[in-house]
Amino acid sequence: MNDSWVALRRFTQARIALGRAGHAVPTQVLLDFQLAHAEARDAVHVSWNVDAFAELLRGLGEEVLVLNTPIGSRNEYIRRPDLGRVLSEGSRTRLRASKTAKTDVALIVTNGLSSTAVERHGIPLLRAITTGYRTHQIRIAPISLIVNGRVALSDDVGSVLAARVAVIIVGERPGLSAADSLGIYLTYAPKPGNIDAMRNCISNIRPPEGLSYDVAAAKLLYLTEQALKRSISGVALKDEMAGLPDEREKYVKPTKLLG
């Protein structure tokens, strides 16, 4: 193809320099688009096998709580984002009963808008995160697994546990370049009513195309320690880790991934 844009394709997953066949795109390009669209739809609508996920975590020695929002289906989840931000009353009671004296971090996982992302990347990412936290003596509550949650659900969970910081791993909204991306949101002093400006986000976690598990866990560990030390998060807490190579080395410790 004689197009100056073709050379740029190696730098991006965006659909550029696709070529054309008459007034349309080539057949292979159209098929690739249709496949990406189908994968994005599946990521949103497929159910998360949370019980199997919980068993895998227990097999790694983690304490796990399987909780719920008031949402009954994926269709309701899409229509009622407000219900994805709170626990059901039964789950809130169970979580309150599990509360321990001192918790630094409430760690939550939800499928969000991509069950595919959580199924594909959730276990190895959690393994890297929990290893980093324990190495740095950060106290974490039992991991809360919650189907059909939104980011602000971390405020409800964190406030019930009286955790200093809430961290939620969530399946990100799929696009036509990535249907399996995970995001992490950190909030200091979680409580209902917090706004998004109070959160730090680490996104596009999906190796090998996106951020690796170890780098994501290292960034999260850095932000968590800074939030605990300075009592801030969100726009007040800047990620200065990239400019500190010596500090970066302290946090990044490769983990052995599951086979």
**More confident position, 30 or 103:** 103
Q: What is the pLDDT of residue 21?
A: 84
Would 112 be classed as within a structural domain?
yes
Would 10 be classed as within a structural domain?
no
Q: What is the CATH number of the domain that holds 197?
A: 3.40.50.11240
**More confident position, 20 or 196:** 196
Q: What domain range is 97 assigned to?
A: 44-251
pLDDT by residue (tens digit) across 10-49? 777 777 777 778 888 888 877 877 787 787 777 677 889 9
pLDDT at 243 over 90: no
Would 171 be classed as within a structural domain?
yes
pLDDT band at residue 219 under the 50/70/90 scheme: very high
pLDDT at 259 over 50: no
pLDDT by residue (tens digit) across 2-19? 567 777 777 777 777 777
Q: What is the pLDDT of residue 53?
A: 97
pTM listed for this prediction: 0.86
Would 31 be classed as within a structural domain?
no
Total domains, the chain: 1
Q: What is the pLDDT of residue 254?
A: 43
Angle (deg, nearest 10), helices 153-161 and 89-97: 40
Q: What is the pLDDT of residue 2?
A: 59
Would 245 be classed as within a structural domain?
yes
